[in-house]
Amino acid sequence: MGLNMTGKRRVVVSGIGVVAPGTPGRKNFWDLISSGRTATRTMTLVDPTPFRSQVAAEVDFDPASCGLTAAEVARLDRVGQFALVAVREAVEDSGIDLGLGDPGRTGVVVGTAVGSTPALESEYVRMSGHGSTWEVDESKAGPHYYDYYIPSSIAAELAVEVGAEGPVSVVSSGCTSGLDAVAHAVELVREGTIDRAVCGASDAPISPITIACFDAIKATTPRLDEPERALRPFDKSRNGFVLGEGAAMFVIEELESARRRGAPIYGELTGFASRCNAYHMTGLRPDGVEMAAAITAALDQAGIAPTDIGYVNAHGSGTKQNDRHETAAFKLALGEHAYRTPVSSIKSMVGHSLGAIGSIEIAACLLALQHGLLPPTANWTERDPECDLDYIPVRAREASPEHVLSVGSGFGGFQSAMIISRSGATR
Amino acid sequence: MKPHITGLGIVTPFGVGVDPYWTALLDSTNGIGPITRFDGGKYATGLAGEHTGFDPRDHLPARLLPQTDRVTQFALVATREALDDAAIPDGTYSEHASAVVTANNGGGFEFAQKEMQALWSRGPAHVSAYQSFAWFYAVNTGQISIRHNLRGAARALVTDDTGGMEAIGQARRQLRHDCELVLAGAVDTNLCPWGWSAYTSAGLMATDPDPRTAYRPFSPHADGFVSGEGGAIMTVERPDRAGARPAYAEIAGFASTFDGVARDGRGLERAIRVALRDAEVDAGDVDVVFADGFGTREMDDREARAIDAVFGPGGVPVTVPKTGIGRLGCAGSALDVATACLAIAKQVVPPTPRYQLSDAASALRVVDHPAPGRVHTVLVLARGRGGFNSAMVLTKPHTELRQDNGRTQ
Amino acid sequence: MNIDTLTAVLRKVAGEDDNVDLATDVSPDTSFDDIGFDSIALLEVLNLLKREHGVLLDDDVLEHAKTPAALLDVIEEERDAA
């Protein structure tokens, strides 16, 4: 049995599926972020006219050409459709036959920050006559309204898809959901409750209520010109994030059983920790102490030192506050090594898809290990004195780190850190 | 390592606090009635277990009110109650070893309905800044952590009505890693028109308009459930750190399974067996089962089959304490765990309120009156729509068992 | 716009009746920090000023206006400029 240095079972990723802004698919995603192109543009899913922020990173998504049936499209909101397409790609990629073995030893964990909000909003508009009444007309509710109300329906859909009968859940911790959901599944495999899981995250939040609520706190960029250069993480001119959407799903397995079946192995999930800043629902302590504590605890779990980290996939949302906070946290956790470590934010290219982005960033880290190439921070042109690390500006960089760090930060004060390591059998 | 549950914070239709709830439960008081928060008469069912007397200003600083939904207000009140109940001495735990895990079903839905109305009737400029965090599923976890400076690994789970129990199960998992104290559980409310219609439009709710008989699980007349609001948050501690302070119960075993396709009760049966094995107890050791009691014939039959399969026909007393208040969404399973804690602490099996009115014909041995007696091991069951099953085994704390044995010898 | 109108807006955002009585305990020169207004609460104040009083202010106004009196000055300047 594969055990890591703390005596726990080891967990590897054997399959990746991605639906990211631009064209769906793992390969299209990697082509986009490794070339430094961006998928941010003037919103098309919603009429942008009434909003302060009018840019989004959207998926060019045609459900039918992604293999979804009419029934699947009818019962799933966009968030569920993304998840299902990504799961199918991940399972195919891993070559696993989930029908073999005990279905009770397979779990499903899905991260999502806002679930089926666009479908809920459509239901609301119909039932309330565009908000004309407080009481709503339940006879106008669609047949899947309850499933939109409770996002566990997304996890249930995926569990039925892959035949899982072990623990099935949604982890919804806002913008760290994508990291936390994968970590949750890893914990289940490590503790021996299950041997394999389908896990990851999906969000499709681009609808009026979500755009409006980020407008109200001025968290999204008001930049109207150059939509393709709207999101500028760590750059001096950054002024907010760009709402994105998408999904990344993984097949994870206990290392020895993955080896036995000759599975392709992208990497090992060696460490994870999260902390809460207990400070403010949207604000961040400038010192970054909780994110630093999460990073340190994740390093401890992986049994490695700060100097072993060869790349940091940053949260890098491109708000004034976040990028400053995060830079401070990296310095606190990695010390002088922070200045020698390449850091990048792929949000510059694929936007901020709330809960999904944590998993999309894990996918970016695994693909970076596979290709020996670190994705850049697009749109970085001018140094901010408060953000003085190496942000891999504009162009991808060749490198083959043994261990990479991916972090997330979200409303509620949540800070999460994950260590992803090259496995001995990395393909 | 079997974590100790040391403090309970409860909000139910009977009010804030353990005592009003426990008293009402033992008296089989009915907490179900016509909805008052909105015009329930406009919907397929207008009955609910509503906490009609709740005034958040009695419990929370005014500044929190404009930024919180009722569900978050319940969560903050329940957490305060749990911490007061546990009376953990200051300085026992570092803030980074103290965490929050809650479950949610809809988030701050009434708050969101107000903002939706503002947006769609008046425009985007009328959406509150607080909407950015008052609705999402992690809102209670975040607000609790801020209010009580709990900086350890936070999590929010959504698994339909098993959520509250899942959160408590996750607390146990985190106590094995880097936490020493976890505030865990769930509260829920769907009592706004938009949230309510998600339930009424999906069916499976009781159509009987009589509040006394509408929700009657394991009755041949069962025709659906009644929804209620409230829930429970509890302090879950590492036993080596809880020290000599009294605990209600130990979390001895936990399991969750999924059966989205073959919904024949086998998934629940599997959850029960795995939880018992995890707890290292035999079926014969279980003193009482707290059933999920969904309230439809089909779901009740499945649950009865699962219980029978493990314990034999009539092999164990079964109670459904929630029949007096309805199903509290994701929070009902957390409240059931809290109720099991009280049963163990007080050595009384609480009744299934008003079960005698339900013209019972179930083969299950349903408890319909408070039953004082040995309550050392309780199995609590939970299910959620879509195929979610969870089972948790709670046992009397070992320290107390040793004391009991000492007394009898 | 006078200080009473602004106080009414602050009161609405603060939840009406906190321990701090905004009408009597708070002088116009007390900092927003001291009366417990965080960044989101202040953004909500700007939102309310905009939609209920038609006062449009720049996003960065809060970097300079740290008290009710200072905010009122900015509002007056904006009005005079318009």
Query: Which residue among C39, C47, C59 places its CB closest to the CB of A283?
Result: C39
CA atoms within 13 A on the CB side of A116: 29
Would you say A228 and A36 are in contact if contact means Cβ atoms under 8 Å apart? no
pLDDT at position A426 over 50: no
Number of separate helices (H) and strands (E) present in chain B:
12, 17
Question: How far is residue B308's CA from residue B302's CA, in Å, rounded to a whole number?
Answer: 10
The pTM (predicted TM-score) of the whole model is: 0.96
C43 interface with A at CB cutoff 8 Å: yes
A280/C43 CB distance under 8 A: no
Among A134-143, B95-104, B297-306, C42-51, which stretch is predicted with the lowest mean pLDDT?
Answer: C42-51
Question: Domains in chain C, please, with CATH?
Answer: 3-81 (1.10.1200.10)
pLDDT at position A238 over 90: yes
- Average pLDDT value over all residues in chain A: 96
Query: Which residue among B62, B65, B129 places its CB closest to the CB of C47?
Result: B129
Tell me which amino acid residue B143 is: Q
**Mean pLDDT, to the nearest integer, of A352-368?**
98
State residue A12 phi and psi, 5-degree precision: -120, 160
Residue among B25, B294, B49, B67 at smallest CA distance from B190: B49
Task: Please give, rounded to a whole number of angstroms, the shortest distance from the CA of B6 to a CA of chain A.
Answer: 23
Window B:99-158, CB contacts with A under 8 Å: 99-100, 104-106, 112-113, 115-124, 127-129, 131-133, 135-139, 141-143, 145-146, 148-158
Share of chain B above pLDDT 90, in %: 89
Q: What is the pLDDT of residues A61-95, one digit of tens each?
A: 999 999 999 999 999 999 999 999 999 999 999 99
State residue B224 phi and psi, 5-degree precision: 145, 175
Q: Which residues of C touch A282 (CB under 8 A)?
A: 39-40
* Of residues C31 and A407, more confidently modeled: A407
User: Which residue reads 């992208």 in tokens?
Assistant: A266
Residue among B396, B324, B325, B337 at smallest CA distance from B103: B337
From A175, A199, A365, A387, the catalytic residue:
A175
Q: Work out the pLDDT band at C29, boundaries 50, 70, 90.
A: confident
C59 interface with A at CB cutoff 8 Å: yes
Q: What is the pLDDT of residues A184-210, one digit of tens each?
A: 999 999 999 999 999 999 999 999 999
Residue among B282, B291, B278, B295 at smallest CA distance from B219: B295
**Mean pLDDT, to the nearest integer, of A30-37?**
98
* CB burial of residue A139 (10 Å; 0-12, 13-18, 19+): exposed
Say how many C-beta atoms besides its own lie within 10 A of residue B296's C-beta: 17
Q: Does A337 participate in catalysis according to the annotation?
A: no
- Note the pLDDT of residue A298: 97
Residues in chain A, total: 427
Window A:270-329, CB contacts with B under 8 Å: 273-282, 290, 293, 297
DSSP A405: E
Residue among C47, A263, C38 at smallest CA distance from C66: C38
Query: For the domain A11-260, what is the CATH superfamily, name and number?
Result: Thiolase/Chalcone synthase (3.40.47.10)
- B389: three-class secondary structure by DSSP: strand
Q: Does A280 participate in catalysis according to the annotation?
A: no
- Note the pLDDT of residue B407: 45
Name C34's Cβ contacts closer than 8 Å, sequence gap at least 6. none
* CB burial of residue A121 (10 Å; 0-12, 13-18, 19+): buried
Q: What is the pLDDT of residues A267-315, one digit of tens each?
A: 999 999 999 999 889 888 889 999 999 999 999 999 999 999 999 999 9
A138/B141 CB distance under 8 A: no
pLDDT at position C23 over 80: no
pLDDT at position C18 over 60: no
Q: Which residues pair with B348 in a beta bridge?
A: B372
pLDDT at position C21 over 60: no
Question: How far is residue A138's CA from residue B43's CA, in Å, rounded to a whole number?
Answer: 7
- Note the pLDDT of residue B275: 98
B130/C44 CB distance under 8 A: yes
Would you say A15 and A197 are in contact if contact means Cβ atoms under 8 Å apart? no
From A184, A325, A352, A403, the catalytic residue:
A352
- Note the pLDDT of residue C34: 81
Name A248's Cβ contacts closer than 8 Å, sequence gap at least 6. A16, A17, A18, A19, A20, A86, A178, A200, A201, A356, A359, A360, A362, A363
Q: Work out the pLDDT band at B71, boundaries 50, 70, 90.
A: very high
Question: Domains in chain B, please, with CATH?
Answer: 4-242 (3.40.47.10), 251-408 (3.40.47.10)
Question: How far is residue B281's CA from residue B19's CA, in Å, rounded to a whole number?
Answer: 30
The secondary element (H helix, E strand) that includes residue B9 is strand B4-12
- Note the pLDDT of residue A425: 37
Task: Please give, rounded to a whole number of angstroms, the shortest distance from the CA of C8 to a CA of chain B.
Answer: 14
- Note the pLDDT of residue C28: 81
Q: What is the dihedral of CA A292, A296, A301, A302, to 10 degrees?
A: 100
Q: Does A352 participate in catalysis according to the annotation?
A: yes
A216 interface with C at CB cutoff 8 Å: yes
Which of C32, C33, C37, C38 would you mutate first to test chain A, the one with the most A CBs within 10 A?
Answer: C38
Question: How far is residue A227's CA from residue A353's CA, in Å, rounded to a whole number?
Answer: 16
Task: Please give, rounded to a whole number of angstroms, the shortest distance from the CA of A163 to a CA of chain B.
Answer: 9
Q: What is the pLDDT of residues A158-187, one digit of tens each?
A: 999 999 999 999 999 999 999 999 999 999
Residue among B177, B187, B185 at smallest CA distance from B152: B177
Which of A52, A168, A186, A289 would you mutate first to test chain B, the one with the most B CBs within 10 A?
Answer: A168
C24 interface with A at CB cutoff 8 Å: no
A280 interface with C at CB cutoff 8 Å: yes
Task: Please give, rounded to a whole number of angstroms, the shortest distance from the CA of B218 to a CA of chain A.
Answer: 24
- Note the pLDDT of residue B401: 62
Name B187's Cβ contacts closer than 8 Å, sequence gap at least 6. B11, B71, B74, B75, B78, B102, B140, B229, B230, B231, B232, B233, B328, B331, B334
Q: Work out the pLDDT band at C52, boundaries 50, 70, 90.
A: confident
ipTM surpasses 0.85: yes
Would you say A412 and A318 are in contact if contact means Cβ atoms under 8 Å apart? no
Among A35-39, A128-132, A257-261, which stretch is predicted with the lowest mean pLDDT?
Answer: A257-261
Would you say B101 and B141 are in contact if contact means Cβ atoms under 8 Å apart? yes
- B199: three-class secondary structure by DSSP: helix
Tell me which amino acid residue B166 is: E
Would you say A327 and A234 are in contact if contact means Cβ atoms under 8 Å apart? yes
By C-alpha distance, the chain C residue nearest B123 is C51
Question: How far is residue A137's CA from residue B122's CA, in Å, rounded to a whole number?
Answer: 20
Residue among C52, C42, A139 at smallest CA distance from B118: C52
Say if strands B317-319 and B15-16 run parallel, antiparallel, or are unpaired: unpaired
Q: What is the pLDDT of residues B11-37, one digit of tens each?
A: 999 999 999 999 999 999 999 999 999
Question: How far is residue B137's CA from residue A65's CA, in Å, rounded to a whole number?
Answer: 32
**Mean pLDDT, to the nearest integer, of B160-186?**
96
Q: Work out the pLDDT band at B103, boundaries 50, 70, 90.
A: very high
- Average pLDDT value over all residues in chain B: 94
Question: How far is residue C16's CA from residue B218's CA, in Å, rounded to a whole number?
Answer: 48
* CB burial of residue C33 (10 Å; 0-12, 13-18, 19+): exposed
State residue A220 phi and psi, 5-degree precision: -95, 155
Fold agreement between A11-260 and A271-421 = yes
Share of chain B above pLDDT 70, in %: 96
**Mean pLDDT, to the nearest integer, of C32-49?**
87
Name B228's Cβ contacts closer than 8 Å, sequence gap at least 6. B12, B13, B31, B32, B48, B49, B50, B322, B325, B326, B327, B328, B332
- Note the pLDDT of residue A237: 97
- Note the pLDDT of residue A379: 98
Would you say A48 and A278 are in contact if contact means Cβ atoms under 8 Å apart? no
pLDDT at position B404 over 60: no
Name B67's Cβ contacts closer than 8 Å, sequence gap at least 6. A281, B130, B133, B134, C40
Q: DSSP string spanning A212-226?
A: HHHHHTT-B----S-
Query: For the domain A271-421, what is the CATH superfamily, name and number?
Result: Thiolase/Chalcone synthase (3.40.47.10)
Name A262's Cβ contacts closer than 8 Å, sequence gap at least 6. none
pLDDT at position C20 over 70: no
Which residue ranges make up each domain of chain A? 11-260, 271-421
**Mean pLDDT, to the nearest integer, of A140-148?**
97
Question: How far is residue B45's CA from residue B396's CA, in Å, rounded to a whole number?
Answer: 40
Q: What is the pLDDT of residues B338-353, one digit of tens each?
A: 999 999 999 999 999 9
Question: How far is residue B407's CA from residue B401's CA, in Å, rounded to a whole number?
Answer: 10
pLDDT at position A5 over 70: no
